Amino acid sequence: MSRVEQQRNIIDYTLSSLLRRPFKNSLLILVYTLIIFSLGSVLLFTRAIRKEASILLREAPDMIVQRIVAGRHDLIPLSYLDTIASIEGTAAVRERLWGYYFDSAKGANYTLIVPATCGLRPGEVAIGVGVAAVRNVYKGEKLFFKAYNGEVISLRIRGILAPGSELIAADLIYICGDDFRKVFGVPEGYATDLVLKAVNREDVKAIASKVSIALPDTRSITQDEILGIYDTIFDWRGDLVGVVLTGAVFAFLILAWDKATGLSPEEKREIGILKAIGWNTSDVLLMKVWESSIISVSSFLAGILLAYLHVFVASSSLFEPVLIGWSVLYPEFKLIPFVDFNHLAILFFMTVVPYTAATILISWRAATISPDAVIR
Amino acid sequence: MRKSDILFACLAVGLVLAGLAAVHSRVARSAASGVIELRLAMIKELDLTDLCLFTEARYTRHPSQADWHTPFQDHPMSLEHFPTGTIVGPPGWLRGTLDEPR
């Protein structure tokens, strides 16, 4: 009998053995698949978000300068522009006007921002897809804002931002500088913060140090820090991942521990009978290797495929309640499938290998004792 | 048909589906280049600093712009209370993974 034929016979026997305990084994495969699914979904989701953030935020400003008063972010005087512009290595510096508007009717928060090159006339706004959905408004209609002094300001919607921009602009409202100041009461000569472009990105840290000396009441945030924050939030050892990973890893440990602490009397008797009819210890071990490989590889494949569909086709719908929190306005977006095969390989070795090793170890102990003792 | 044939057929179907997922990932990435360009242009035009992921609190909408104690500064002894505050952790410099901002 050829080696291949021998292996196929063992696989045939292993499958028959698995099918003799259909409820237990299908439940095992289901739980195993669910664990891989949840771990895989988190890994795929966080990897895709991190990758997208790293691509997109490379266009973020080289540096932001905020003014801090009593530990809080405060309006910054435009006179600071000249001080920063005079620092060596600064290519350009401009003010940003932006702020948060709480829509008490809908309970949603919007971000109002004044673009550098407006393209809007006073009295007009352009709104993000999320704002349009929450307010149920369309191009040409009016949007009402309650200003800082109680006055109601109506602005006409000139357009809705392009679909596909939700990941960065779902809650944005483009507004002209004059209207922004009317809504929030920001005085002339002040802005929300300043953005700086450096001649050479390598010099940003040095410029930040000079800014903190020249303007001690300010705080600088560099692009590297912005990128680092998204790496931290969505790191696979981070908070979101940590919550899901902890539960799933414990579930997997219980599964592996249950397997490793011993075979059922029925499984022991089966091994004894096999040895009594002439199977070697190595044949029994081979059967157990196939058994655990069939269970773990098929669960891994099913779990990862389901995780892929969940994250990249179903828009991570199971994570939605966690991600939404108390947000009324939540961006609907489809992540671009950036898949890190190293992460998948780590997941494979973290789940399939320990499970298989635990199964073989306990089977080896049962396979080496005499058949007579096992059957009795 | 032998049971092993059925097993190998199932595994082959799984591998084909995994291959299709890899092809889908590649196709979707090239198809998304227009969306990426659009988003890059908006970020450049507006000098945006953050992704719009969590809109419930200012420090989760713009985590990169929040200061150290933003979640706790609504009043003295204030505790963090927004659900996404449990997901959006403290910035890297507090954990020692990034330099402290100046």
Cα–Cα distance between A319 and A307 in angstroms, integer? Answer: 12
Enumerate the residues of chain A whose CB falls inside 8 A of the CB of residue B54: 323, 325, 327
- Split at pLDDT 50, 70, 90, the class of A325 is confident
Please give the structure tokens belonging to residue A352. Answer: 């399939």
Distances (CA, A) of A111 to A216, A313, B27, B44, B59: 28, 29, 33, 17, 12
Please give the structure tokens belonging to residue B42. Answer: 């908006």
Q: Which of A33, A52, A233, A343 best tests the B interface by mutation, with the highest count of B CBs <10 A?
A: A233
- Split at pLDDT 50, 70, 90, the class of B24 is very high
Interface A–B counts its CB contacts (< 8 A) at 225
Q: pLDDT tens across A218-266, in order?
A: 999 999 888 888 887 776 555 556 666 777 777 777 777 776 666 777 7
CA B39 to chain A, closest CA, distance in angstroms equals 6
CB A143 within 8 A of CB A106: no
Look-up: residue for tokens 């997208």? A52
A213 burial class (0-12, 13-18, 19+ CB within 10 angstroms)? exposed
Q: Which of B84, B87, B98 best tests the A interface by mutation, with the highest count of A CBs <10 A?
A: B87
CA A195 to chain B, closest CA, distance in angstroms equals 8
Cα–Cα distance between A171 and A132 in angstroms, integer? Answer: 9
Q: Which DSSP letter does residue A336 get? A: P
Cα–Cα distance between A332 and A130 in angstroms, integer? Answer: 8
Q: Is the pLDDT of residue A361 over 90?
A: no
Residue type, B93: W
- Backbone φ and ψ for A111, nearest 5 degrees, come out as -110, 115
Q: Judge whether A84 is closer than 8 Å to chain B, CB to CB.
A: no
The reply to whether residue B53 touches residue A323, judged by beta carbons under 8 angstroms, is: yes
What pLDDT, on a 0 to 100 scale, did the predictor assign at position A243? 67
CA A373 to chain B, closest CA, distance in angstroms equals 32
Average pLDDT for residues A74-80, to the nearest whole number?
A: 94
Enumerate the residues of chain A whose CB falls inside 8 A of the CB of residue B91: 225, 228-229, 232
Distance of CA A287 to the CA centre of its chain: 40
Specify which residues A173 forms β-bridges with: A112, A127
What pLDDT, on a 0 to 100 scale, did the predictor assign at position A102? 92
Compare A141 and A258 and report the one with higher pLDDT.
A141
Interface of A with B in 309-368 (CB under 8 A): 312, 322-323, 325-331, 336-339
CB A263 within 8 A of CB A363: yes
Enumerate the residues of chain B whose CB falls inside 8 A of the CB of residue A240: 87
Nearest to A229 by CA among B93, B70, B87, B48: B93
Q: What is the mean pLDDT of chain A?
A: 86
Task: ipTM value, please give it.
Answer: 0.80
What pLDDT, on a 0 to 100 scale, did the predictor assign at position B57? 82
CB A40 within 8 A of CB A48: no
Q: Is the pLDDT of residue A193 over 90?
A: yes
CB A344 within 8 A of CB A304: yes
CB A226 within 8 A of CB A57: yes
Longest dimension (CA), chain B: 74
Q: Which DSSP letter does residue A320 get? A: H
Average pLDDT for residues A174-189, to the nearest whole number?
A: 93
What pLDDT, on a 0 to 100 scale, did the predictor assign at position A66? 93
Look-up: residue for tokens 């898949």? A339
The reply to whether residue A71 touches residue B2, judged by beta carbons under 8 angstroms, is: no
Q: Which of A59, A210, A311, A330 best tests the B interface by mutation, with the highest count of B CBs <10 A?
A: A59
Q: Is the pLDDT of residue A376 over 70?
A: no
Cα–Cα distance between A289 and A296 in angstroms, integer? Answer: 10
Could you write out the three-class secondary structure of chain B? CCHHHHHHHHHHHHHHHHHHHHHHHHHHHHHCHHHHHHHHHHHHHHCCCCCCCCCCCHHHHCHHHCCCCHHHCCCCCCCCCCHHHHCCCCCHHHHCCCCCCC
Neighbours of A271 (CB within 10 A): 24
H-type alpha helices, chain A: 3-19, 22-56, 80-85, 129-135, 166-169, 177-184, 204-214, 223-233, 239-260, 265-276, 281-308, 320-324, 341-368, 371-375
Phi-psi region of A101 (alpha: psi -120 to 50; beta: other; left: phi over 0): beta
What pLDDT, on a 0 to 100 scale, did the predictor assign at position B1? 82
Specify which residues A112 forms β-bridges with: A99, A173
What pLDDT, on a 0 to 100 scale, did the predictor assign at position A147? 93
Distances (CA, A) of A149 to A25, A124, A185, A356: 68, 20, 8, 69
Cα–Cα distance between A172 and A120 in angstroms, integer? Answer: 15
What pLDDT, on a 0 to 100 scale, did the predictor assign at position B8? 92
Q: pLDDT tens across A43-65, in order?
A: 898 889 889 999 999 999 999 99
Q: pLDDT tens across A283-307, in order?
A: 888 888 888 889 999 999 999 999 9
